[in-house]
Structure 1
């Protein structure tokens, strides 16, 4: 594999994992995860 291909692969992985991490942090910051957990316990 060429150096350019390796660099592009690393950048793509950073973008994907970074986006996933930002989405999780955003959900936790706005309380969406906690609200769902409370509603689940209420429904049970």
Structure 2
């Protein structure tokens, strides 16, 4: 491999792995979102039976 190819490979590896490391640190600093938008009321759809269609 030539010197420019090795430099480009090292640069791309630093970008990819550096982005992974930065994202891990950001997720450790703020693991969950605290300000969710207001949602709707629970309509208990999981309590209903599954609708079966005759096809």
TM-score for the superposition, normalised by structure 2: 0.55
Unmatched runs of 5 consecutive residues or more in structure 2: 33-55
Question: Any runs of at least 4 consecutive aligned residues in structure 1 with deviations exceeding 2 A, and if so which?
Answer: none
RMSD of aligned Cα (Å): 0.8
Unmatched runs of 5 consecutive residues or more in structure 1: 33-44
**Which has more radius of gyration?**
2
Which of the two has greater helix per residue? 1
TM-score for the superposition, normalised by structure 1: 0.68
Q: How many residues align?
A: 32
Which of the pair has the greater relative contact order for Cα pairs under 8 Å at 6+ separation? 1
